[in-house]
Amino acid sequence: MEAKYIYGIIEASEERMFNLSGFDDCEEVYTVPYHDISAVVSNSKFVNYSTLPKDRVAGYLLAHQRVIEKIMDSYAVIPMNLGTYASNIMEVEEVLSGGYAMFKDIFRKITNKIEIDVVASWSDLNSIIKEIGEEQEVKEFKEEILSNPEGVSIKDQIRIGSLIKNILGKKRERCALEIETELKNVSIDFRKHDLMDDRMIFNIAFLIDKDRKAEFEERLDELNGLYDEKIDFRCVGPLPPYSFYTIETKKISFEEIDRARKRLCLNDLVTKDEIQKAYRNLALVYHPDRNPHTLDSDKEFNEVNKANRLLLEYCLSAEQGGKRAPYSLREEEFAKNAIIVRVRD
């Protein structure tokens, strides 16, 4: 199925083509303007990423990011989530109009800003564990179990392993806090990412002023010297604000909205306060803790919760499109808010 693939949003009011020479895997990239902002798009066939193997998805992600980072040479870019498609130009414009106020607010926050991702890992995890084994607390524990005439049991080995793991965890937290505190002093915001393995100590994205990039890198060099090569630092950037303001879209049908409205027993003109009040009342009725012997209470509670989230998102989309409460849930008004535009969690 033919579609428009959306890479990101920039502040530009005119149509233009981008020269991405060397991007053999990329279709022609151009802008679709709306007032003073534009979507950066290419013509593409729709791809369902959820059905692809991880290596194929990684390839698409690399191509997606290469385009965004090339555009970043000339513009501040609000990146879109991987796999953001619109059916046609009109739908691209709906994304721009629906998210316009939010996009303008984000541009105020990211102009002259860059993201830098920092990962810190133990250079030699085995040597760190060996050092921990020489700490007084561990040595005393080993002496205690070795003095047992019955010998060292499997339970004792597990206890030693747990003690070492606990000390390693505290050591990791202490180092991570020291690094984080130092780098936060030269950044505007930060986002923590998951640690991928036992070697990793720290995995954080920082939003910084472009003008402080050199200062940020100097702090990293100082930290590298401070830890005397026991910690490896890896720095990736400058990047667009992937970790802070990646945008995702969600298409919803009138049937979903109408079902949610009926589930919360609402009229077809509502305010957010009315939605939340209806939700709280029904949540009390169906909460599993209040209905421990009712088989369907979990299901009912989850449906009420889902309906509440969907309707609040729909109202937020209406606000971004310039609408004011009460919000219409009538079918004839639905098409104006059929695409929810939001910052990815």
Domain range annotation of the chain: 2-111, 115-244, 252-343
Q: What value does the mean pLDDT take over residues 271-297?
A: 78
Question: Closest Cα to residue 21, out of 73, 60, 56, 90?
Answer: 73
Note if the bond before 292 is cis, omega within 30 degrees.
Answer: no
User: 4 burial class (0-12, 13-18, 19+ CB within 10 angstroms)?
Assistant: buried
Q: How far apart are CA 36 and CA 320, in angstroms?
A: 16
Q: How far apart are CA 249 and CA 83, in angstroms?
A: 10
Name the pTM for this structure.
0.76
Question: Closest Cα to residue 78, out of 57, 109, 49, 47?
Answer: 109
What pLDDT, on the 0 to 100 scale, is given for residue 286? Answer: 77
Q: What value does the mean pLDDT take over residues 185-196?
A: 91
The answer on pLDDT for 307 being more than 60 is: yes
What pLDDT, on the 0 to 100 scale, is given for residue 225? Answer: 84
Q: What value does the mean pLDDT take over residues 251-264?
A: 84
Q: What value does the mean pLDDT take over residues 221-229?
A: 83
Superfamily of domain 252-343: DnaJ domain (1.10.287.110)
HSE of 323, CA atoms in CB hemisphere, 13 A:
23
For residues 188 and 207, is the Cβ–Cβ distance under 8 A?
yes
The answer on pLDDT for 207 being more than 90 is: yes
For residues 216 and 141, is the Cβ–Cβ distance under 8 A?
no
Q: How far apart are CA 85 and CA 248, in angstroms?
A: 10
Q: How far apart are CA 176 and CA 223, in angstroms?
A: 11
